Amino acid sequence: MAAIRVAVLVLLGLCLGGAAAAIPLVIWHGMGDSCCNPQSMGYIKKIVENKIPGIYVLSLKIGSNLIQDMENSFFMNVNDQVREVCSQLAKDPHLKGGYNAMGFSQGGQFLRAVAQRCPSPPMLNLISVGGQHQGSVYGFPRCPGESSHICDWIRKTLDLGAYTQAVQEHLVQAEYWHDPLKEEDYRKNSIFLADINQERGINETYKKNLMALKKFVMVKFLNDTMVDPPISEWFGFYKSGQAKETIPLKESSLYLEDRLGLQEMDKAGKLVFLGVKGDHLHFSEEWFYSTILPFLQ
């Protein structure tokens, strides 16, 4: 009888333990933001923790303090940022069994680079909230936070030479600057986006690692005034050579040639395209709970 009681207690413990083992979440903020802003990433972290008891949420900080984290979102080479994040994730014991990832604005494509370049620990689901996966172009109609003077300088710098080596090495937004009127310059000189989008050749490891995702969720803001063109949030972009007509992902060479495995992922039901009314990164708590939370559980 005692043995039966022990067996029941062990089974009960296993069941309870399984129920409490929420998949960890890694989040990466956007331009001009920081890991722990109580009105943005701190808020997201809090509401996720409230809805999924026991979940471990890592909000990525690039630098030793919040000021550095914000400044690095403008001025630290993205490839260096991705290497730093890969190191952070590999050293975090909470993530060794795998994790979900959620990136906001430029954090969306940065986390995609993590998925492609750093498969250990494994990223399970990637949620890109307003990420510019085919890049952005033509300035910043609005500027985040209190960074208007920085954005004014960035606009002038990008206009002068987005694809020069010095600008590419030291200005984050230049590294995903995609000018449809200068496609050859972009393919040749973009040190970040052209690489992760396989514009200069096929890295089979990138393709294999991205295809290992269970779901790749892309959120587009239907009234976006910051990302140009907004369809980049769904992997679409301008037709080459002009900046008026756009084409969706499925008509792009990236998809048709399946350079990243997106066509195969699409056929397997791994790509999820979500639209939400509102401007860039404007969404309600109710929408987040009903639409995004299910991918984290």
Query: Considering the entire predicted model, what is its pTM?
Result: 0.89
Q: Are 114 and 90 in contact (CB under 8 A)?
A: no
Gap between the Cα atoms of 135 and 132, Å rounded: 5
Residue 199, CA distances (Å) to 19, 253, 260 in order: 43, 10, 10
Q: How confident is the model at residue 157 (pLDDT cuts 50, 70, 90)?
A: confident
Distance (Å, whole) CA 151 – CA 226: 12
Please state the length of the chain.
Answer: 297
Please, which residues have CB within 8 angstroms of residue 23's CB and are 6 or more apart in sequence?
55, 98, 99, 100, 124, 296, 297
pLDDT confidence of residue 158: 78
CB 27 within 8 A of CB 44: yes
Which pLDDT score is estimated for 266? 98
pLDDT of residue 251: 96
Instruction: Name which of 20-24, 38-42, 120-124, 282-286 the model is least confident about.
Output: 20-24
Helix (H, G, I), strand (E, B) or coil at 137: coil
pLDDT surpassing 90 at residue 196: yes
pLDDT at 8 over 60: no
3-state secondary structure of 297: coil
In degrees rounded to 5, what are phi and psi of residue 254? -55, -40
Instruction: Tell me the pLDDT band of 5, cut-offs 50, 70 and 90.
Output: very low
pLDDT band, residue 148 (cuts 50/70/90): low
pLDDT at 154: 77
Question: Cα separation of 196 and 48, whole Å?
Answer: 29
pLDDT for 20 equals 53
Summarize the confidence of residues 251-267 as an average pLDDT: 97
What's the whole-number mean pLDDT along residues 205-209? 98
pLDDT averaged over every residue in the chain: 90
Of 112-116, 120-124, 143-147, 262-266, give the lowest mean pLDDT range.
Answer: 143-147
Structural domains of the chain, with CATH = 25-295 (3.40.50.1820)
* Phi/psi of residue 245, nearest 5 degrees: -90, 130
At residue 3, does pLDDT exceed 50? no
Residue 47 has pLDDT above 80, yes or no: yes
pLDDT by residue (tens digit) across 236-257?
999 988 888 999 999 999 999 9
Looking at residue 139, its pLDDT comes to 52
Catalytic residues: 105, 224, 280
pLDDT tens by residue, 77-108: 999 999 999 999 999 999 999 999 999 999 99
